[in-house]
Amino acid sequence: MNPISYNYTPYSSYSYPYYSGRGLDVQNSYYEQPKESDSTSEQAAKTIGLAGLLQLLSVALQKGSSILSSKLAAGKEFTTPENVQRVADDMVSKNRLNVHIGYIDELNKAEYASRYGLGKSLDPVAKGQNAFFADKLRLAVAPKSKPSLILHELGHAINAKGKFTKLLQNSRRYAGYAPMALLFANGILSNKNDGKKTFIERNAGILGFCAFLPTIIEEGLASFRGVKAAKKVLNNPAGLKILKKNYALALGTYILAGIGLGVASKQTVLLDGKN
Ligand SMILES: [Zn+2]
CA of 152 to the centre of ligand 1 (A): 6
CA of 5 to the centre of ligand 1 (A): 4
CA of 48 to the centre of ligand 1 (A): 36
Which residues span the domain enclosing 228?
4-273
CA of 245 to the centre of ligand 1 (A): 15
**183-208: burial string, b at 16+ Cβ within 10 Å, e else:** beebeeebeeeeeeebebbebbbebb
What's the CA gap between 24 and 35, in Å, rounded?
A: 19
pLDDT value for 40: 66
What's the CA gap between 202 and 66, in Å, rounded?
A: 30
- pLDDT band of residue 28 (cuts 50, 70, 90) is very low
Alpha helices in 176-198 (DSSP H): 178-189
Q: Domain tally for the chain?
A: 1
pLDDT in tens, 125-152: 999 989 999 999 999 999 999 999 999 9
CA of 6 to the centre of ligand 1 (A): 5
CA of 151 to the centre of ligand 1 (A): 10
- With a pLDDT cut of 90, the percent of the chain lying above it is 68
Residue 203 has pLDDT above 70, yes or no: yes
CA of 221 to the centre of ligand 1 (A): 9
Amino acid (1-letter code) at residue 155: G
pLDDT value for 193: 64
What's the CA gap between 236 and 234, in Å, rounded?
A: 6
CA of 99 to the centre of ligand 1 (A): 16
- pLDDT band of residue 101 (cuts 50, 70, 90) is very high
Residue 24 has pLDDT above 60, yes or no: no
pLDDT value for 23: 33
pTM, to two decimals = 0.80
CA of 129 to the centre of ligand 1 (A): 13
Task: Tell me the HSE value of 165 on the side-chain side, using a 13 A CA sphere.
Answer: 16
Lowest mean pLDDT among 88-97, 119-128, 189-198: 189-198
CA of 110 to the centre of ligand 1 (A): 23
pLDDT value for 21: 33
From the CB of residue 17, how many other CB atoms can be counted at a distance below 10 Å?
19
CA of 207 to the centre of ligand 1 (A): 22
Residue 110 has pLDDT above 70, yes or no: yes
Residue 250 has pLDDT above 90, yes or no: yes
pLDDT value for 242: 95
Q: Mean pLDDT, to the nearest integer, of 155-180?
A: 94
Q: Mean pLDDT, to the nearest integer, of 214-235?
A: 96
